[in-house]
């Protein structure tokens, strides 16, 4: 090959210099600096950890990397799998066992008739005296407490009321019957794709579960015990504060309902009376774009919402997203709920991944954990830490999310300060205990 002439070399050098002048200046920045700049933007990116926290963070991220490496080998990465199939794998995760121990602060998006594992309802509430059952034509049930016998007529699509105590005495296999009641109170199934072929189908089943549970929970003695046991279960998941949403039937599938804008006249009545009523709207729990419901994220902000419930549509609305960031309005992210209700199949693709990368304020919540076969919020934290937050999510991410849950709660400032103080003591103990356990393993 003929070597280039001196003129050719000068020409190549000149072209290279011209090209470099045309390149945007940021491309000449150091790659590591750019990566660090990105990390600083993400959720928790600006938190400064103590030396002990840094060491713990490194250990935790290493465990995460090991589990992901194993998942790549086996082809089973829990956040990319339907939760009903992934739960068994998550339960075996070392990362998950750590997240269960972590003080998570507050849960800010939880529905009143879905806070406690359904086992308690079946094995306690349905065994109380005066509990009646009727069987619907669609294969589900209804409950009612009554003394004497419930009055007629029975609910639509329902058979006659039968005293459950009497009915159980006639059965050959009570255990199998009770297992059937458990299935009536959750969406859990071995084949979710076959059982729930569409969003419309699963939403109808989802709302049916609430109707079934309401016949038990609305009975005053059960109501009192249910909430006590529910709060206890949340406490055992290291949650110290909870805000519970009361269900107002037929409030449910956002895609099937009216937009917030349709309700603006009613929702602005408090302002006309001089009352600053705080709102906490569900908004943007949809995959559709350009619909009236899709615009709920903007309408929620116009109606002065304190937080945005679910908010999957927010990333499709740059003006609304900018406004929520400017006003410091967080999104209540409920990853398992979004996946089970067929809004996001692979949680690595959850819209909150974009929000977390930008450091947009978010809080993590479970929505309706018992209906999904979960408890508390640890499973949702696992999905966020392992997938939605990406490989860069570390202890700072988890710490920020816990702090956010207190910051964006409805507590008044003095109660927030006390709650944060309590949380900080729990957090410091968690870090110390976990650091000691890691040292013992070395």
Summarize pLDDT for 396-411 with one digit per residue, the tens: 999 999 999 999 999 9
According to CATH, where is 3.20.20.140 located in the chain? 54-114+227-441
As a whole number, mean pLDDT of residues 170-186 equals 97
Q: Does 28 score more than 70 pLDDT?
A: no
181 phi, psi to nearest 5 deg: -65, -40
Summarize pLDDT for 216-272 with one digit per residue, the tens: 999 999 999 999 999 999 999 999 999 999 876 557 556 666 789 888 999 999 999
Could you write out the DSSP letters of every residue in 103-169? ---EEEEEETTSSS-HHHHHHTGGGSTTEEEEEBTTS-EEEEE-SSSPPSSPPTTB---EEHHHHHH
Q: Does 25 score more than 60 pLDDT?
A: no
| pLDDT value for 255 | 63
Summarize pLDDT for 311-343 with one digit per residue, the tens: 999 999 999 999 999 999 999 999 999 999 999
Neighbours of 417 (CB within 10 A): 12
Closest CA to 328 of 416, 408, 397, 243: 408
| Cβ(370)–Cβ(212) below 8 Å | no
Q: Does 4 score more than 70 pLDDT?
A: no
Cis, bond preceding 148 (omega within 30 deg of 0): yes
Lowest mean pLDDT among 31-35, 81-85, 353-357: 31-35
Active-site residue (options: 285, 317, 332, 383)? 285
As a whole number, mean pLDDT of residues 53-70 equals 97
Could you write out the DSSP letters of every residue in 333-402? E-HHHHHHTTS-SSGGG-THHHHHHHT--EEE--BSGGGGT--TTHHHHHHIIIIIT-TT--HHHHHHHH
In the block, residue with structure tokens 């393993």: 441
Share of the chain above pLDDT 90, in %: 81
| pLDDT value for 281 | 95
The C-alpha atoms of residue 323 and residue 301 are separated, in whole angstroms, by: 8
Mean pLDDT of the chain: 91
| Bridge partners (DSSP) listed for residue 331 | 308, 362
Long-range residue pairs from 156-160, CB within 8 A, at least 24 positions apart, any chain: 158/134, 159/134, 159/135, 160/134
| pLDDT value for 35 | 85
Summarize pLDDT for 412-436 with one digit per residue, the tens: 999 999 999 999 999 999 999 999 8
The C-alpha atoms of residue 274 and residue 123 are separated, in whole angstroms, by: 49
| Cβ(334)–Cβ(366) below 8 Å | yes
| pLDDT value for 227 | 97
| Cβ(283)–Cβ(249) below 8 Å | no
Return the structure tokens found at 81.
């799998």
Q: Does 149 score more than 60 pLDDT?
A: yes
Q: Does 438 score more than 80 pLDDT?
A: no
Q: Does 209 score more than 50 pLDDT?
A: yes
* Residue 310, CB-side half-sphere exposure with 13 Å CA sphere: 24
Closest CA to 104 of 413, 409, 436: 409
The C-alpha atoms of residue 241 and residue 129 are separated, in whole angstroms, by: 33
For 239, the 3-state DSSP assignment is coil
- Fold classification of 54-114+227-441 is TIM Barrel (3.20.20)
Closest CA to 229 of 348, 420, 376: 376
Concerning whether 285 is annotated as a catalytic residue, the answer is yes
| pLDDT value for 11 | 47
**CB-count exposure of residue 411 (10 Å: 0-12, 13-18, 19+):** middle
| pLDDT value for 18 | 44
C-alpha 320 chain-centroid distance = 21
Summarize pLDDT for 39-48 with one digit per residue, the tens: 999 999 999 9
Query: Does the CA dihedral 143-144-147-148 come out positive or negative?
Result: negative
Neighbours of 91 (CB within 10 A): 13
The C-alpha atoms of residue 372 and residue 381 are separated, in whole angstroms, by: 15
Return the structure tokens found at 66.
């090991």
| pLDDT value for 418 | 98
Phi-psi region of 6 (alpha: psi -120 to 50; beta: other; left: phi over 0): alpha
Active-site residue (options: 111, 282, 310, 360)? 310
| pLDDT value for 248 | 66
The C-alpha atoms of residue 361 and residue 40 are separated, in whole angstroms, by: 14
| Cβ(385)–Cβ(397) below 8 Å | yes
For 93, the 3-state DSSP assignment is coil
The C-alpha atoms of residue 80 and residue 347 are separated, in whole angstroms, by: 6
| pLDDT value for 157 | 78
More reliable by pLDDT, 156 or 134: 134
Instruction: Sheet with 305-310: list strands edge to edge.
Output: 279-283, 305-310, 331-333, 362-364
Summarize pLDDT for 184-193 with one digit per residue, the tens: 999 999 999 9
| pLDDT value for 317 | 96
State the pTM of this model: 0.91
Return the structure tokens found at 105.
């602060």
């Amino acid at each position: 090959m003929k070597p280039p002439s001196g003129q050719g070399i000068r020409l190549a050098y000149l072209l290279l210099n011209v090209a470099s002048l045309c390149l945007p200046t940021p491309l000449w920045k150091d790659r590591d600096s750019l990566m660090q700049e990105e990390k600083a933007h993400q959720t928790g990116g600006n938190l400064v950890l103590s030396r002990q926290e840094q060491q713990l963070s490194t250990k935790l991220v290493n465990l995460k990397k090991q589990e992901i490496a194993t998942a790549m080998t086996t082809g089973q990465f829990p956040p990319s799998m339907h939760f009903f199939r992934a739960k068994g794998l998550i339960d075996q995760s070392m990362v998950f066992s750590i997240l269960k121990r972590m003080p998570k602060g507050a849960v800010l998006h939880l529905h009143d008739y879905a806070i406690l594992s359904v086992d308690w309802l079946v094995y306690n509430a349905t065994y109380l005296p005066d509990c009646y059952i009727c069987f619907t034509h669609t294969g589900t049930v209804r409950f009612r407490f009554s003394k004497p016998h419930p009055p007629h007529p029975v609910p639509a699509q329902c058979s006659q009321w039968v005293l459950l105590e009497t009915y159980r005495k006639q059965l050959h296999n009570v255990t199998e019957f009770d297992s059937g009641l458990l299935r009536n109170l959750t969406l859990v199934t071995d084949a979710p794709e076959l059982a729930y072929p569409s969003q419309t189908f699963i939403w109808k089943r989802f709302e049916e579960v609430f109707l079934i549970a309401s016949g038990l929970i609305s009975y005053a003695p059960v109501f009192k015990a249910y909430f006590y046991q529910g709060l206890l279960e949340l406490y055992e998941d290291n949650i110290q504060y909870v805000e519970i949403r009361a269900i107002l039937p037929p409030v449910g599938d956002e895609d099937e309902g009216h937009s917030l804008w349709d309700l603006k006249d009613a929702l602005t009545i408090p302002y006309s009376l001089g009352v600053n009523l705080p709102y906490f709207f569900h908004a943007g729990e949809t995959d559709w774009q350009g619909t009236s419901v899709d615009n709920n994220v903007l309408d929620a902000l116009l109606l002065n919402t304190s937080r945005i419930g679910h908010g999957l549509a927010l990333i499709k609305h740059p003006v609304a997203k900018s406004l929520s960031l400017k006003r410091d309005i967080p999104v209540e992210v409920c990853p398992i709920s979004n996946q089970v209700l067929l809004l996001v199949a692979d949680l690595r693709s959850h819209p909150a991944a974009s929000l977390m990368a930008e450091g947009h304020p978010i809080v993590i919540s479970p929505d309706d954990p018992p209906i999904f076969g979960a408890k508390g919020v640890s499973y949702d934290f696992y999905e966020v830490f392992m997938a939605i937050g990406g490989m860069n999510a570390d202890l700072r991410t988890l710490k920020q999310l816990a702090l956010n849950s207190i910051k964006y709660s409805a507590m008044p400032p003095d109660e927030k300060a006390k709650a944060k103080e309590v949380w900080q003591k729990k957090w410091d103990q968690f870090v110390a205990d976990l650091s000691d356990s890691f040292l013992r393993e070395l």
